[in-house]
Amino acid sequence: MNEEKPVVYVISDSIGETAELVTRAAIIQFNDGNVDMRRIPFVKDKERIKEVMQEAEEKRSIVVYTLVYPHLRQALEEESVNRKVKTIDLLGPLIDALSEIMPESPRLEPGLVRRLDEEYFRRIVAVEFAVKYDDGKDPKGLLLSDIVLIGVSRTSKTPLSMYLAHRRLKVANLPMVPEVEPPEELFLIPPERIIGLTIDPEQLQRIRQERLNSLGLTASSQYASMDRILTELEHANKIMRRLGCRVFEVSDKAVEEIANSILNLVNEEGLMNE
């Protein structure tokens, strides 16, 4: 008759991934690794702990746990003593030790690691989105965006898109050029999701001249001529009025200042897609 496999119970008040990974790292040190691992996630009350410990008492088992709430840890340890079941607290001693050196108290919120991971991956997705749909590369991206930035060249559309992407917003941007009609997708987007960027003509001229100089090109190029700039701004303003979108003045403003104004708008009106 085959001997019953040992059982490792992994108890957590969140998903329990951390406890399971650490436990697997230990189990793999044993040649056969023939262990029945049972993950018990989202434990929120003492009754659930009692049920699991009662089952563990009947097995050749240990209990590994990551419980943030002190009252749940205490309940589990009391059950451990009463039922003579070995327990390993992976999180509690570390939280207690850190409490002695950290200036603030622990937040005691289950699932924070998972939430941080989710935020990180959403940020990565948003950055990749901003790169893919930068400068009107693919009009289809306009319909998938949280925010669409439009404006003439050198109104900080790209740096704004990247800054907002690091705040987990999916942002596409589109240049306004008199010779190119905007894609039809732009007119299918709710106007509150579109933000026009405008700038003082003289400041735009200086910015464009500096850009040309950095590229080793002549500053007298049509790109930096006042006539061209006024034509572009007039065209862009006409499109913005047609769209009925909000317009942000970017003259003499840092990217961070403009971005924070946009973020305030997004938070107030709930413009971020889930």
Q: Do 153 and 236 fall into the same domain?
A: yes
Residue 137 lies in a domain: yes
Residue 37 lies in a domain: yes
Number of domains in the chain: 2
**In this structure, what CATH number is given to the domain that contains residue 244?**
3.40.50
Residue 274 lies in a domain: no
What is the model's pTM?
0.62
Band of residue 218 on the pLDDT scale cut at 50, 70, 90: confident
pLDDT higher than 50, residue 1: no
Last residue of a domain, one of 99, 129, 146: 99
pLDDT in tens, 221-269: 899 999 999 999 999 999 999 999 999 999 999 999 999 999 998 888 8
Residue 56 lies in a domain: yes
Q: Do 121 and 94 fall into the same domain?
A: no
Structural domain harbouring 71:
7-99
Q: Are 91 and 99 in contact (CB under 8 A)?
A: no
Q: Do 71 and 136 fall into the same domain?
A: no
Residue 1 lies in a domain: no
Quick one: what percent of the chain has pLDDT higher than 70? 93
pLDDT for 104 equals 80
* Average pLDDT of the segment spanning 16-24: 86
Residue 104 lies in a domain: no
Last residue of a domain, one of 73, 99, 125: 99
